[in-house]
Amino acid sequence: MPDLIQLLPDKIVNQIAAGEVIQRPASAVKELMENALDAGSSLIQLIVKDAGKTLIRVVDNGKGMSANDAKTCFQRHATSKIRGIDDLFALRTMGFRGEALASVAAIAQVELKTRRKEDKVGVHIRIEGSSIVEESACQTAPGTSISIKNLFYNVPARRSFLKSDGVETKHVIDEFLRIALAHPEVAFTFHHNNSEIYHLRESNSRQRAVAVFGHNYNERLVPVSEDTDYVKIEGFIGKPENAKRTRGEQFFFLNGRFIKNAYLNHAVTSAYGNLLTEKTFPLYVLHIDIDPKAIDVNVHPTKQEVKFEDEKLVYMIVQAAVKHGLAQYSVMPTIDFDQEASFKDFEAFRTNFSTATNQPAQTDRPAYTGRQNKPSAEAWQSLYEGSASEGNIVTVPSQWENQTELPVKDVESETSFIPVQLHKTYILTQIKSGIILVHQHLAHQRILFERYMDSFDQRSGSQQLLFPVVLHFNGSDTALVKTIIPDMRSIGFDIRESDDGLCRVNGVPADLVEENPEHILENMLEVYKWTAGNQKIGQRENLARSLARFAAIPAGRKMAPESMTSLIDQLFGCREPNVTPGAQPTYIRYSLENLREQFGVE
């Protein structure tokens, strides 16, 4: 019998290994940009097409490569950054494994142009599936330009794992911003599908943070600086009252590299103590500088996790630095009770989503198919008359899914019965078979959700705003917003993007006029963004849900009797009046029979 074991060809080895280093376009962006930084560049340009699926190009003005290095760099374990094991403990560069370029060359069509300052001509190399298909001299500016085309073209299984362009673009922007925030001394530009998304000049770290997050962040940043023998901490934290409901704006950079570290995150949060409203996340951009000997970055191929030699000590110093920062600027929280209520809602919302896949009620729920019948608010009682069975039991939230029959309005007493608002949140009203308690915020969410879903194909009119709202989206939001603008328009937003990266909102759906549109839009987009990765619901449903959440009448607001009557009528004109789009009950019903039972009367 012949021997069975064979060595895998290099090409296959590289493709397999590439899986660890390059999971998606954003990973390639990170590797190329880090190489450009390692090459000492002062200007790095990122050009991306179709979320990086078609093209990722990084052009730098760094030190370039010799003709030989230009070929060698695509080989596995080809690196100029370490020579021996000792170098590992003194690393100041981003890369060192020599895997990135070998990996991309295995799974994409790669084109490299590079020239060192001292060379008269540069070199041009094209590679497909790890083999060089073209090599020639070329005219090119000093520095390096690498293009990665058709990522995963030869690994269809991986290509099919990529998410929508919106989601992949967001990942790309996240990587870009991490690098840009870590290196304010370097200028960066970013083009996506021929439009310029970022143009970041060489600057200091405050200017960079403001350029990335938006000009309104200048006053939100509190500087932090702590210099010890062991570690140096520099950067900014956000004022507690600006803390957001998502973690989007939290960055640790260790020796210039973005890292994730839950332990240090805890150090920051605990320093805020009770200055933070529950479940909110403060902004931070903290640069930690430490002797490379005191860390081991070699634990993960993409190097986002690190091991510290003395993690406790770093924790204490980070915590102290943040405390000092807060104390120095004597930042006091301004508590907004209205906001607080909506923070809680947001949590409930998140819980609903994160458990969505385990909840039979949620997964079994049919996708929104549009309103089949549109009962007028006045006609609802005749529509549903007689459909309620007698002798209902008390419907409590945990049983809401069994609540299939719709309540029948009590027609006889209609003229005399006025709904009552309790605790500025619950509306008590009478139905034929008992009483119901409607949650005003949740019920309104259902009404608005269905209205928005119905308006997508109809293009609703909008109410013009007296003072147009100008939105400056921070970073990755820009791309996301662009993908949903057409749908926002059909809901009734008169929204335009302008060349300066801002969005102007001149009009909003009619039901938003009284509210603060800026606040609603910011919140809505945050929730939208948060859910965008969730493929269970489509873009439109996500948009309708997110907007309904923030446009709905909040709990704690006084309502006039006529508004309450109209709210209840509209609720029962809905296709699925029982639940919010996020599957919370909109009302609770008590049957007459059960009430009698509870009181012990026949």
d(C-alpha 59, C-alpha 378), whole Å: 64
d(C-alpha 572, C-alpha 472), whole Å: 39
Q: Select the span of 28-36, 265-273, 296-304, 559-567 touching ligand ADP (CB under 6 A).
A: 28-36
Q: Among 22, 52, 96, 314, which residue sits at the site for ligand ADP (rule: CB under 6 A)?
A: 96
d(C-alpha 581, C-alpha 476), whole Å: 26
Distance (Å) of CA 206 to CA 113, 212, 318: 34, 10, 19
Report yes or no: 210 and 261 within 8 Å, Cβ to Cβ: no
Q: Among 18, 22, 28, 39, which residue sits at the site for ligand ADP (rule: CB under 6 A)?
A: 39
80 binds, among Mg ion, ligand ADP, none (CB under 5 to 8 A by kind): ligand ADP
Q: Among 22, 28, 29, 36, which residue sits at the site for ligand ADP (rule: CB under 6 A)?
A: 36
- CA neighbor of 265 nearest in space, from 185, 319, 330: 319
> C-beta of 119: minimal distance to ligand ADP in Å?
13
> C-beta of 67: minimal distance to ligand ADP in Å?
13
Which position's Cβ is nearest Mg ion?
Answer: 95
Q: Among 26, 29, 59, 65, which residue sits at the site for ligand ADP (rule: CB under 6 A)?
A: 65
Q: Select the span of 35-43, 215-223, 367-375, 408-416 touching Mg ion (CB under 5 A).
A: 35-43
Using rule CB under 6 A, residue 100 touches ligand ADP: yes
Task: Tell me the backbone φ, ψ of residue 433, rounded to 5 degrees.
Answer: -95, 5
> C-beta of 536: minimal distance to ligand ADP in Å?
37
Report yes or no: 31 and 22 within 8 Å, Cβ to Cβ: yes
Crossing angle of the two packed helices 165-182 and 476-491, in degrees rounded to 10: 140
Using rule CB under 5 A, residue 35 touches Mg ion: yes
d(C-alpha 445, C-alpha 551), whole Å: 8
Q: List the interface residues with ligand ADP, window 72-91 (CB under 6 A).
A: 73, 78-81
Q: Identify which of residues 189 and 403 has a Cβ nearer to ligand ADP in the complex.
A: 189
d(C-alpha 486, C-alpha 540), whole Å: 10
Using rule CB under 6 A, residue 493 touches ligand ADP: no
d(C-alpha 198, C-alpha 176), whole Å: 10
Q: Map residues 85-104 to x or -, x wherever contact with Mg ion holds by CB under 5 A.
A: ----------x----x----
Q: Report the sign of the C-alpha dihedral through residues 406, 412, 414, 417, in that order.
A: negative
d(C-alpha 69, C-alpha 531), whole Å: 44
Q: Identify which of residues 70 and 438 has a Cβ nearer to ligand ADP in the complex.
A: 70
Which position's Cβ is nearest ligand ADP?
Answer: 95
Q: Identify which of residues 183 and 444 has a Cβ nearer to ligand ADP in the complex.
A: 183
Q: Name beta bridge partners: 170.
A: none
Interface residues with ligand ADP (CB under 6 A) are 31, 35-36, 39, 60, 62-65, 73, 78-81, 95-102, 144
Interface residues with Mg ion (CB under 5 A) are 35, 95, 100
